[in-house]
Structures are given as C-alpha cells and as structure tokens.
Amino acid sequence: MKRTWWKEAVVYQVYWRSFFDSNGDGYGDLEGLIQKLDYIRDLGVDVIWLNPCYESPDKDNGYDISDYYRIMDKAGDMATFDRLLHEVHKRGMKLIMDLVVNHTSDQHPWFIESRSSKDNPKRDWYIWRDKPNNWRSYFTPSAWEYDEQTGQYYFHSFAVEQPDLNWENEEVREEIYKMMRFWLDKGIDGFRLDAIALLAKPEGFPDAENPYDIRYLTNNPGVHDYLQEMNEKVLKHYDIFTVGEVAFVSPEEGLKYVGEDRNELHTLFHFEVCDEMPTWDPIRFKQIQKRWYEGLWGKGWNSQFLNNHDHTRQVTRYGNDKQFRVESAKLLATLVHTLPGTPYIYQGEEIGMTGVKFDSIDDYNDIAMKNKYAEEVAKGRDPKEVLESLQLLSRDNSRTPMQWDDSEHAGFTTGTPWLKVNPNYKEINVKQALADPNSVYYYYKKLIQLRKQNSVMVYGTFRDFSENDPYIYAYTRELDDIRWLIVLNHCDNDNVYELPEELASAHRRLLLGNYTDVKEEGATLHMRPHEARIYALQ
C-alpha cells in the first residue's frame, strides 16, 4: 500500500465562527483561531480543516459564497488569512479549506447577471427551466424557485439563496478551476469539497417516483468526468490532500471517487453512519465498517468521524453524555482513531462537549431545522412536539461556541455570542480539561501519539472478532509482525468478552485504556461501562 502524509494525518475541524472571538462581536474569527493555534498543535494534530470563510451573506453559515476571492468581514480579511496560513505552517501543521462549488449565493455577481435576463451571457451558468419538476431540496419543499423578472425557475439543491451552478457549462468549470489555483498558489494544503457528489444532474430532470427520497440529487452520470477533469487541470499539480463530501454512496460507488487509479479525490466522507444511523446501532455500525473496509482497502482511502458541524456531537448522539460522559467520549475517540482511515476531530470533541436542547425555536440558527420546523407547524402539528422531534439532529448541537473556561460565555467572547453557549460550560471546558491529567483531552493526546508512533494504526489490516455482539466491539489491526487488539464495551453496563482461542493464546500488553485500573486477565475480559482497551499481542 502506498504511504502518504495525508493517510498518516489526524485532522482537526475548525468551525471558526464558534471557535474563538478575538474582537468581541460575538462571532469567532480567523484572528481568534491564530490565537488558539498552539492549543491545536499541542493536541498533536497535523491538519486543520477550516470551514468556509469566503465573502458570504451568511444565509447558510458561509456555505453560500458571494465572492470566492474575499474573506467575509465576520472572519477577518485576506491579510489575516495569509497570516493564519503562515502561522499554521510555522507550527508544522497544514491547512485545508472548505470549498463549495456545487452552488453559490444568490448574491454572487455570476447569479445576479444570470437572473438579469434570458439572453445574458451568464444565463447558462445556472440551471433555469420553464416548469419545475417534483424534486425537493435538502432545506426546502421544492428544489425550484420562481424568478418573476424572467418568468423561469432556477434550481437549488439547498436553500433558495443557494442556486446550483451548471457544471455542464465549460466556462463555469474553467472559472472554478482558476479560483482553486488561486488558493492553492497561496500555499493551502488542500480542500474539503462540499456536496461534491451533486455536481452532475440527471438528464432532463424527470419527476421522482418518491420525491422525499432525495438520492436523485447525488452520484449522477457525469460527476466522475468532472472530478477527473478537476484533477487533471488543478489537483494533480499540487502536493495536497482532498476529501469529498459524498452522500448516499455505497463502498462500490465510493471507490470511484477515491480509487488510487481513478485520479479524482484522495478520500471521502460517506454518511451511512451520521446521516442514516440516528442513534447507536452496534450491529449496523459493524456491518458498515466491514463493508467499507472490504470495498476500499488497498484500493482507496476512507475517513473516520462521528460528528462535525452538520451532525450532533458524538458523545450525545452515540454515547452517554450524562452518567458516563468522560468514559464514552474516550471510547468513541478510541473507535474513530483505531478503525481504518483518517481520523477527524471536531472542535470541542476532544474535551467531551455535548449537544444542547434549547427551549425555543428562536434560540436556534440552523436553517435546515428552522425551515423544517416551519413546514411541520404549517401542517398543524404541535410546535412543542415538532421542536422536540428536531432537537437531537439539529446542526446547532455541534455549533454552540467552544467552551474555553468557566467565565461568562465560556470564554468564547466578551460580547454576545451569535449562538447561545451550552449551559454546561461551567463543568465542561478547556481550562478544566487541561488541569485534569485523566481528562478526555489528554486521552486524545495519547491516542494521537500512539498513531504517530505506530504504523499499524494507519496501515494495519482490520478484522472484526465480534460481528454479532450487541455491546462488545473487538477487532484487530495487523501490519507485518505487529498485531493489536482493540476491545470496546459500548454500553452502560458491565459485560464479559470471551477471547477467541486465536487471541487468547497470545500474550497481551495494555497500551491504552480509558479506565486507569485495568487488571491483567486471562481469556475472559471483564469490561466496565464504556470501557475501551488497546492491546499489543505477541
């Protein structure tokens, strides 16, 4: 297997508007990130993934870009970005930028021209039709919006304010490639490509048999032609790392995006877990991991994550954020960092930050949640019930401000935060974590250090020894003559795991555990609630 720096990397995602506010306006910013770079470096991280900070009306928190060549005022300016990039590199880390090329803001000059008249030269830069089909968008009941000025509908896979670009138009593609070169020539180290599987649209836009199943938006014929062209004209000319956001994809289809012989992307985010597994389902999770391992191993590269800016914090959604918050946060970290693929840390995850339940829809900012709330209430549903049904998967669960200390607003800002801080910041914060040698933070440091020092965590083969066990997840990673065993008790109760003879006969040496008093045992492992252990086998 080909060895590369990005396969060996650990990535830390910075949702900058919620990270650290340097000027008291209530929004995190790039200067705030610069001030906290040592914190990220000390964790042991290699790569920072920065959420969009381009010029934007901010209808969808920066994913509606109105100028690809400017930094939005809330984030800072280009001089600050250049300094950020310099400071990241000075600390031996790399920076990848989140990039949206499926759509722009409706305030982008391209779209303003496109909608001005039917014969405008940029009319065909977006998708216009006389009649809409029955498709839904991710955020609204229809993927089409009527434009009175020209009497046609434009297409939007997401919010009304986010019209899709027409990737069939060569001029559009060349303009996008030019923009990508601009950022790469600055010295950034790659891209996280948002909604990249949506670039190609089905020919003719036929009505869907079930419009609520929005898979028709993704993985359509032509998308791989676009990505291979992007690679040929831009990506292959730089020593960078690319990861694509690819929804509704199987391992077989996923390999087309990341196959090392395909010349498209390096790795991908699939969402069989985060989008399609609302709560913890151990058997399903194991099946997903096995299928993706068998589908990609030796041919392409996977990513491991359980939360990000779009998904509820992992300890709330897939762990126990009350009785066993610290233990389950460490167990989930062990899971992500020892399964095959590149591990991602979402800011605050490393201190065990949790999701949140606000009392009113007015306290939420998530455009997808607010639109869905309005749609359901308009149907006559009880507002309280609708709010409760949407809270667990609201994107604001992961977007509440970073909890730095126990001072007002968790030390995130001296002003009024753009989104309310989680009320538990007094107990859960960076200051507390750094003062406790047994904190979640220091467990992450140990995991990352183990990965840096042991190639078996990166390049080792994977084998599941617990496929049908509803509580225990036990698997090995093996490289040359090195074999590791990972055992996780993913539940609130004690459990016993009987080692198979193949593993029981080996001498075990504990490398890392999330309980401090692990006793050596025979073939029977007595696992406590949310206990995680990593063994070296000899």
Residue 146 near residue 163, CB atoms below 8 Å: no
The rounded mean pLDDT for the chain is: 97
Separation of alpha carbons 524 and 99, rounded Å: 49
Is the pLDDT at 317 greater than 90, yes or no? yes
Identify the bridge partners of residue 535 per DSSP, sorted by sequence position: 485, 510
Same domain, 443 and 335: yes
The two most distant CA atoms of the chain are separated, in Å, by 78
Same domain, 338 and 442: yes
Is the pLDDT at 272 greater than 90, yes or no? yes
Same domain, 439 and 338: yes
Residue 478 located in a structural domain:
yes
Mean pLDDT (whole number) for 414-434:
97
Catalytic residues: 194, 245
Residue 418 located in a structural domain:
yes
Side by side, the strands of the sheet bearing 508-513 are 461-464, 472-479, 482-489, 532-537, 508-513
**Is the dihedral angle over the CA atoms 245, 250, 256, 259 positive or is it negative?**
positive
Residue 313 located in a structural domain:
no
The whole model's pTM is what? Answer: 0.96
| pLDDT value, residue 3 | 96
Same domain, 140 and 87: no
**Is the dihedral angle over the CA atoms 7, 12, 13, 16 positive or is it negative?**
negative
Residue 478 near residue 493, CB atoms below 8 Å: no
What angle (nearest 5°) sits at the alpha carbon of residue 71, between those of residues 234 and 88?
Answer: 70
Is the pLDDT at 1 greater than 90, yes or no? no
Is the pLDDT at 519 greater than 90, yes or no? no
Mode of pairing for the β-strands spanning 241-245 and 267-269: parallel
Is the pLDDT at 329 greater than 90, yes or no? yes
Residue 26 near residue 61, CB atoms below 8 Å: no
Of the pLDDT bands very low, low, confident and very high (cuts 50, 70, 90), residue 81 is very high
| pLDDT value, residue 15 | 98
Is the pLDDT at 284 greater than 90, yes or no? yes
Same domain, 383 and 495: no
| pLDDT value, residue 318 | 98
Mean pLDDT (whole number) for 492-496:
97
Residue 528 near residue 494, CB atoms below 8 Å: yes
Separation of alpha carbons 249 and 197, rounded Å: 9
Separation of alpha carbons 528 and 455, rounded Å: 29
Three-state secondary structure call for residue 95: strand
Separation of alpha carbons 399 and 184, rounded Å: 28
Residue 240 located in a structural domain:
yes
Q: What is the pLDDT of residues 170-190, one digit of tens each?
A: 999 999 999 999 999 999 999
Nearest to 72 by CA among 59, 58, 54: 54
306: left (phi over 0), alpha (psi -120 to 50) or beta: alpha
Of the pLDDT bands very low, low, confident and very high (cuts 50, 70, 90), residue 53 is very high
Of the pLDDT bands very low, low, confident and very high (cuts 50, 70, 90), residue 157 is very high
Same domain, 17 and 95: yes
Residue 280 located in a structural domain:
yes
Residues 6+ positions from 334 with CB-CB distance below 8 Å: 447, 486, 488, 512, 514, 532, 534
Is the pLDDT at 404 greater than 90, yes or no? yes
- Domain CATH code at residue 531: 2.60.40.1180
| pLDDT value, residue 393 | 87
Same domain, 388 and 411: no
Separation of alpha carbons 290 and 23, rounded Å: 47
Among 453, 480, 495, residue at a domain's last position: 453
Residue 10 near residue 44, CB atoms below 8 Å: yes
Identify the bridge partners of residue 99 per DSSP, sorted by sequence position: 193
Same domain, 350 and 389: no
Mean pLDDT (whole number) for 67-83:
98
Is the pLDDT at 415 greater than 90, yes or no? yes
Residue 17 located in a structural domain:
yes
| pLDDT value, residue 392 | 87
Of the pLDDT bands very low, low, confident and very high (cuts 50, 70, 90), residue 399 is very high
Identify the bridge partners of residue 473 per DSSP, sorted by sequence position: 488
Separation of alpha carbons 86 and 534, rounded Å: 37
467 is in which domain, residue-wise? 460-537
- Give DSSP secondary structure letters for 406-444: SSGGGGS-SS--SSPPPGGGGTS-HHHHHH-TTSHHHHH
| pLDDT value, residue 409 | 98
Of the pLDDT bands very low, low, confident and very high (cuts 50, 70, 90), residue 316 is very high
Q: What is the pLDDT of residues 357-370, one digit of tens each?
A: 999 999 998 888 99
Of the pLDDT bands very low, low, confident and very high (cuts 50, 70, 90), residue 125 is very high
Identify the bridge partners of residue 153 per DSSP, sorted by sequence position: 129, 146
